Amino acid sequence: MSFSAYARRVRDPAVPFRWRVSALRSCVQLYRPLGYHATLDYLRERAGRFDRDEAALLRALDALRASRAGWHADLREYAAARAEAKRHGQRSPRPGERNPNHKPAVWYGAPRDGALHALTYWRRKRLEELRRSEDPAVEAVDSCVGACLAAGGPLGDAERERLAGVVRELGERLAGGLYDEDYAAYCRTRELLSVAALVSTADGSGVPQTVS
């Protein structure tokens, strides 16, 4: 089913309430800018206990739809910009150019707030497990996360430079055939890049990093 079909199911009072809640979760499966679990957690913060209250359920759906609509508007704007660039001979996007097709770590309408929530959620739910790997990149990323949360988003020059360095290092890992060599390390590296993307979004200093 499509996002719109699940959304109609969420709104349908004739559908049993628990199925409507399940339909909202299916919407989040299809659009999860902060990751599945963090997106659900953010919706609870914004809308209330949507698994118990119909009004909260509808508020959560409206919040999700509004963010998704913002993403679609960004996609249209990007497509128009790329078409114009191609007319002027630029066939491919420039390295590092913002591309919303890669689903950047952005809650449209509240990018910093959404990113800070997701970073807090990551620390609460994922950091301890990742530390068991004894991968030094985990602590490097978490240092940037801590600085970001302490400042309410913006990083200082030193923290921003450190974030850029760890993103480069993690990107080099992926480029080196990590998928075939160590799949667990590959998954961990992608997760850390996603967290770094959230830090970049919360910092607001430039184009969010993306993991395609």
11-55 tens-digit pLDDT: 999 999 999 999 999 999 999 999 999 999 999 999 999 999 999
Q: What is the DSSP letter of 208?
A: P
Q: Residue 183 sits in which domain range?
A: 110-203
In-domain check, residue 96: no
Q: How many domains does the chain have?
A: 2
- The reply to whether 133 and 55 lie within a common domain is no
- The reply to whether 121 and 171 lie within a common domain is yes
pLDDT exceeds 70 at position 208: no
pLDDT exceeds 70 at position 207: no
CB distance 50 to 57 below 8 Å: yes
- C-alpha span between 115 and 1 (Å, rounded): 28
pLDDT at 209: 42
pLDDT exceeds 60 at position 211: no
Q: Report which of 81, 196, 202 is spatially closest to residue 210, judged by C-alpha positions.
A: 196
- The reply to whether 119 and 63 lie within a common domain is no
pLDDT at 205: 66
In-domain check, residue 79: no
Q: Report which of 74, 67, 118 is spatially closest to residue 99, judged by C-alpha positions.
A: 74
Q: Report which of 1, 23, 24, 206 is spatially closest to residue 104, judged by C-alpha positions.
A: 206
- The reply to whether 170 and 117 lie within a common domain is yes
